[in-house]
Amino acid sequence: MANALPTYFLSHGGGPWPFMKEQYGSTYDVLEASLADIPRQIGMRPNAILVVSSHWEEREFTLSSSAKPGMIYDFGGFPSHTYQVKYAAPGAPELAARAGILLAQAGFNAGLDPNRGFDHGTFSMLYPVYPEADVPVVQMSLRHGFNPQAHLDAGRALAPLRDEGVLIIGSGLSYHNLQQFGPSGRLASHAFDDWLRFAILELPPAERTSALLHWDQAPHARMAHPREEHLLPLFVAYGAAEHEAAACVYHEDEFFGHLAVSSFRFGHSAQP
């Protein structure tokens, strides 16, 4: 694993935010800077990117297998121009097949979807990282049931991809309660984010894994994640680098004026 790429769990922001600078002003400046720094951190151009999307759920883990994925505008109420955005990264059918084999070897009934396009959890997050859209991308779904152990095991199964130049990214949000995305979310977001950063950054690997698997026992866990689809990509990214060092690569205490949010890297950075 000496040359293995790190993995990431990234808080991807809301909707098509990179394409709404006039509307959002400086709201996303810190997040955008953290995403734009990822190529420097990994120190090489990946052969491909595998994005575990919080906006795609299937009965079994499923991988997008089109060579030319389309777009999915899975948001509502945004300016008309955001429904014309194109992130024209190529797909990687070979990577989709390879990941499917690794998952099958771990006992999962993984599937391929040749019609799945990029949802905003992928294209909005990747645009600041690789704005030229010239790195092949495969999306992977969550699995219904939202079992954290299954998603951790999927990450473990996919770990060999890191040695093959594949950048594994779990795309979600460390706080995702849209009913309390203002002042009413301050307490829950800060309490849960404090716990999450402690668990990931301070606990030894065995304790860290146990703590994360029991995330719903954390302070204000179900207030921070009434439905955990935006947290589950963390387990895949973490499982692929379970015993390696972690770093917080993005943190804000006043996101949208009130919320605490974070992103994490697992595995070593090529650059300090």
Considering the domain boundaries, does residue 2 fall inside one? no
Closest CA to 125 of 144, 111, 139, 107: 139
Mean pLDDT of the 219-247 span: 97
Half-sphere CA count of 184, side-chain side, radius 13 A: 7
Neighbouring C-beta atoms of residue 27, cutoff 10 Å: 17
pLDDT of residue 57: 97
Q: Which domain holds residue 207?
A: 7-266
Give me the CATH number covering residue 45.
3.40.830.10
**How many structural domains comprise the chain?**
1
Considering the domain boundaries, does residue 1 fall inside one? no
Q: What is the DSSP string of 160-210?
A: GGGGGTEEEEEEE-S---GGG-SGGGHHHHHHHHHHHHHHHHHS-HHHHHH
What share of the chain has pLDDT > 70, as a percent? 99
Residue 264, phi-psi category: left (phi > 0), alpha (psi -120 to 50), beta (remainder) = beta
Considering the domain boundaries, does residue 272 fall inside one? no
pTM of the model: 0.97
Model confidence band, residue 268 (pLDDT cutoffs 50, 70, 90): confident
The two tokens of residue 28 are 């996303």
Rounded (10°) CA dihedral 33, 34, 37, 39 = -130
Residue 1 has pLDDT above 60, yes or no: no
pLDDT of residue 182: 87
- Residues 8 and 126: their CA atoms lie apart, in Å, by 12
Q: Are strands 246-255 and 259-266 parallel, antiparallel or unpaired?
A: antiparallel
Considering the domain boundaries, does residue 66 fall inside one? yes
